[in-house]
């Protein structure tokens, strides 16, 4: 068994090195920059319109299954997950403070990418045999670009990637959060996660949307509120931290305390990879949730995508990063290993340092539990959309049941082999992004028409 796992690790390492090489990184960032220029900086010039839509001033409705706000709630439920807490910590642990700059880059240019992929997905969305509106890169590739084989490849990558990025990793972190808060045994957490997950996802997108609509605002306000308290307390450190982030973004990060130092390539790649893992811009996942929205115009829902990335990366990820840096937790040494703190331990230490008593634990672990559980729900719909595209409605129920089983195993498994699962998730993320960006970039002419036609009247 160990030999097999080692083989998987080596194989994934080779594939990951190719998928996340500089060509893919240039494709991701270059696409975001190109779309930003093509759409005339829509994420900056139309931010006010975006917020007006999200907070209810635009009531134009069309076909769909759930409200536009419920759709963005499902998308945020999926994007705001372990990556916002543990993933940001990993980026800083490996790449140093400069990685935060590159995480911001993925967010700023990713807003244009997210707007684009959502707008195009809604243009090509279709109602399936069960009455659910389905959309995503697979429909753009098949119906718009006439590349059905690549559409199937994307759908397959989505169905497989979902079990890592959206299920096993998230369930594992949720179990850890419950243990840290109340000493809940992993087996008990596994049953809790599995039962509640089954109760929600078996009801389909409407059930997921109702839960997400209530859970997402609470978890974001609770977590960000705790982080803001710390940042106010350490306000004197903020100018130095921002200076460190910018000065470290383009040069090797020097070793200090428990931080081992990092080459420029590590600074950039860790920021970019963790940024994509968190906000999923360019991944092609969120358009599947947005495609169910009851909207009349595709670009109308595309604006919700800008808001989604803003909340996930510019707000939540930034809060985590700044708390880790202002408290100095990123330079501490783990007594158990003699090395710098990493992953969830790093984020937890930062919040424990910044908040009195058990409040630090409460904020980070309640935030983690709600973030990860909501991601399990949202990503189920993404994976389900992939298998539904390939096999039809007969595959939906088996996929949901398998989803519950994997969530149970992920929560029960504790920390064992989590690193491998995380690495495989990174690889599958990249494999999803490539066909999705091909779909978007080859549809720019249509994208400009859909965007200008909608915004001209507003």
Using CA atoms, how far residue 30 sits from 44, 95, 180, in Å, is 18, 21, 41
Q: In this predicted structure, which of 28-37, 57-66, 289-298, 304-313 has the lowest mean pLDDT?
A: 57-66
pLDDT of residue 57: 60
In a domain, 422, yes or no: yes
Range of the domain at 427: 15-452
Q: Choose between 251 and 113: higher pLDDT.
A: 113
pLDDT of residue 335: 78
User: Would you place residue 119 in the very low, low, confident or very high pLDDT band (cuts 50, 70, 90)?
Assistant: very high
Across the range 105-132, mean pLDDT stands at 96
Q: Choose between 269 and 2: higher pLDDT.
A: 269
In a domain, 373, yes or no: yes
Examine the pLDDT at 453 and tell me if it is beyond 60. yes
At 44-69, the pLDDT tens digits run 999 988 888 888 765 667 788 999 99
Across the range 1-15, mean pLDDT stands at 73
Per this entry, what is the length of the chain? Answer: 458
User: Would you place residue 419 in the very low, low, confident or very high pLDDT band (cuts 50, 70, 90)?
Assistant: low
At 238-269, the pLDDT tens digits run 999 999 999 999 887 776 766 766 778 888 88
- Report the distance separating Cα 136 and Cα 286, nearest Å: 8
Examine the pLDDT at 319 and tell me if it is beyond 80. yes
Examine the pLDDT at 1 and tell me if it is beyond 60. no
How many independent structural domains does the chain possess? 1
Neighbours of 18 (CB within 10 A): 12
At 14-27, the pLDDT tens digits run 887 777 777 777 88
Across the range 231-236, mean pLDDT stands at 96
In a domain, 4, yes or no: no
Neighbours of 180 (CB within 10 A): 18
Residue 391, classified by CB atoms within 10 Å of its CB into exposed (0-12), middle (13-18) or buried (19+), is middle
Percentage, residues of the chain above pLDDT 70: 94
In a domain, 10, yes or no: no
At 268-299, the pLDDT tens digits run 888 887 887 788 888 899 999 999 999 989 99
Strand partners, 262: 253
In a domain, 80, yes or no: yes
Does residue 428 contact residue 164 with C-beta atoms inside 8 Å?
A: yes
In a domain, 215, yes or no: yes
Across the range 130-144, mean pLDDT stands at 96
pLDDT of residue 101: 96
pLDDT of residue 415: 44
Q: Choose between 456 and 402: higher pLDDT.
A: 402
In a domain, 277, yes or no: yes
Examine the pLDDT at 413 and tell me if it is beyond 90. no
In a domain, 457, yes or no: no
Q: DSSP string spanning 336-351?
A: TTTEE--HHHHHHHHH
At 173-206, the pLDDT tens digits run 899 899 988 889 999 999 999 999 999 999 999 9
- Report the distance separating Cα 53 and Cα 307, nearest Å: 10
Rg (CA), the chain: 21
Examine the pLDDT at 9 and tell me if it is beyond 80. no
Residue 387, classified by CB atoms within 10 Å of its CB into exposed (0-12), middle (13-18) or buried (19+), is buried
Examine the pLDDT at 414 and tell me if it is beyond 60. no
| CATH of residue 353 | 1.20.1740
At 145-180, the pLDDT tens digits run 999 999 999 999 999 989 887 898 889 889 989 998
Q: What is the mean pLDDT of the chain?
A: 89
Q: Give me 355's structure tokens.
A: 């908040």
Report the SS3 class of residue 176. Answer: helix
């Amino acid at each position: 068994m160990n030999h097999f796992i080692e083989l998987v690790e080596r194989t994934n390492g080779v594939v990951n090195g190719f998928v996340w090489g500089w060509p893919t990184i240039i494709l991701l960032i270059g696409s975001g920059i190109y779309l930003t220029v093509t759409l005339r900086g829509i994420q900056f010039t139309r931010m006010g319109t975006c917020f007006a839509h999200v907070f209810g001033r635009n009531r134009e409705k069309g076909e769909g299954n759930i409200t536009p706000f419920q759709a963005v709630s499902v998308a945020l439920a999926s994007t705001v997950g372990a990556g916002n807490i543990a993933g940001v910590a990993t980026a800083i642990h490996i790449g140093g403070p400069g990685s935060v700059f590159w995480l911001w880059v993925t967010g700023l240019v990713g807003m244009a990418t997210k707007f684009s992929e959502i707008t195009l997905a809604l243009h090509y969305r279709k109602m399936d045999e069960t009455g659910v509106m389905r959309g995503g890169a697979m429909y753009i590739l098949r119906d718009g670009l006439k590349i059905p084989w690549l559409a199937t490849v994307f759908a397959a990558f989505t169905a497989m990637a979902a079990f890592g990025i959206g299920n096993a990793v998230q369930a594992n972190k949720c179990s850890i959060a419950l243990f840290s808060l109340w000493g809940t045994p992993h087996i008990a957490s596994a049953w809790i996660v599995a039962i509640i997950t089954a109760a929600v996802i078996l009801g389909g997108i409407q059930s997921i949307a109702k839960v997400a609509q209530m859970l997402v605002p609470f978890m974001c306000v609770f977590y960000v509120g705790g982080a803001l308290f710390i940042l106010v307390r350490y306000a004197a450190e903020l100018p130095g931290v921002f200076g460190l982030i910018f000065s470290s973004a383009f040069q090797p990060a020097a070793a200090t305390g428990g931080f081992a130092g990092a080459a420029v390539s590590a600074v950039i790649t860790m920021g970019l990879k963790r940024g994509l893992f968190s906000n999923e811009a360019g991944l092609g996942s969120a358009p599947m949730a947005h495609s169910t929205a009851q909207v009349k115009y595709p670009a109308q829902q595309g604006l919700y995508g800008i808001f989604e990335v803003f909340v996930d990366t510019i707000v939540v990820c930034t809060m985590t990063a700044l708390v880790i840096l202002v408290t100095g937790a990123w330079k501490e040494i783990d007594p158990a290993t003699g090395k710098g703190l990493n992953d969830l331990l790093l984020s937890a230490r930062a919040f424990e340092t910044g908040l009195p008593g058990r409040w630090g634990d409460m904020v980070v672990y309640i935030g983690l539990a709600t973030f990860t559980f909501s991601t399990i729900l949202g990503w189920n719909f993404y994976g389900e959309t992939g298998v539904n595209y390939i096999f039809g409605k007969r595959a939906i129920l088996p996929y949901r049941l398998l989803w519950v089983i994997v969530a149970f195993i992920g929560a029960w498994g504790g920390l064992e082999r989590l690193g491998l699962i995380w690495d495989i998730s990174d690889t599958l993320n990249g494999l999803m992004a490539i066909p999705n960006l091909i779909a978007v970039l080859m549809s720019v002419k249509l994208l400009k028409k859909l965007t200008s036609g909608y915004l001209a009247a507003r």
